[in-house]
Amino acid sequence: MENNKYKLAAWPAIVHAKCPRCRRGDMFANSMYGFKGQKMNISCSHCGLVYEREPGYFYVAMFVSYALNVAEMVTLAVAISVLTGSRNPWLYVTVILSFAFILSPFNFRYSRVVLLHWLTPGLHYHPEMSQDKPQ
Ligand SMILES: [Zn+2]
């Protein structure tokens, strides 16, 4: 296959929040942790894919974000229980809410990445679009 030499791996594209169609363009315009909040690019700088598939599309990412939050909270609760053996509910509430706050930019970003990479019907990777653009 001629196209295979352009094929980019899925995991680095997901970790670095790259475009789901070409895996080259960045989905976000700035870094995950910063005082200005996160700014998402309107479209892919490489293949032109519009990230917000239809108006309000990222409301769906709230459900992904909810699932991420539940997974993190359950993991933390089990970890606190195993590591400290404490039965004090305030320890759990304090640690879990602090982590929910610290991880919120992560959840915001990766809920959208997961939505576009895995949960959007009809949006797939196109290796031929990973090629360098003709000058
Ligand atoms: Zn793209």
Q: Is the per-residue pLDDT at 116 higher than 80?
A: yes
Q: Is the per-residue pLDDT at 122 higher than 80?
A: yes
Give the global pTM. 0.89
Non-local (6+) Cβ contacts of 43 within 8 A are 49, 50, 51
Tell me the CA–centroid distance for residue 128 and ligand 1, in Å: 11
Asked if the structure places residue 123 within a domain, the reply is yes
Distance, first Cα to last Cα, the chain: 24
Cα dihedral sign, 7-19-73-59: negative
Which of 5-9, 13-17, 67-71, 74-78 is predicted least confidently?
5-9
Tell me the CA–centroid distance for residue 46 and ligand 1, in Å: 5
Largest CA distance in the chain: 64
Non-local (6+) Cβ contacts of 91 within 8 A are 80, 84
Tell me the CA–centroid distance for residue 49 and ligand 1, in Å: 5
Among residues 133, 129, 110, 126, which one has the least CA distance to residue 27? 110
Q: How far is CA 98 from the centre of its chain?
A: 20
108, 40 Cβ separation under 8 angstroms: no
Among residues 59, 67, 72, which one has the least CA distance to residue 103? 72
Give the pLDDT band (50/70/90) at residue 1: very low
Asked if the structure places residue 25 within a domain, the reply is yes
Q: pLDDT (tens digit, 9 = 90+) per residue, 7-41?
A: 899 999 999 999 999 999 999 999 988 888 899 99
Asked if the structure places residue 135 within a domain, the reply is no
Tell me the CA–centroid distance for residue 73 and ligand 1, in Å: 33
**Domain count along the chain:** 1
Structural domain boundaries enclosing 118:
2-130
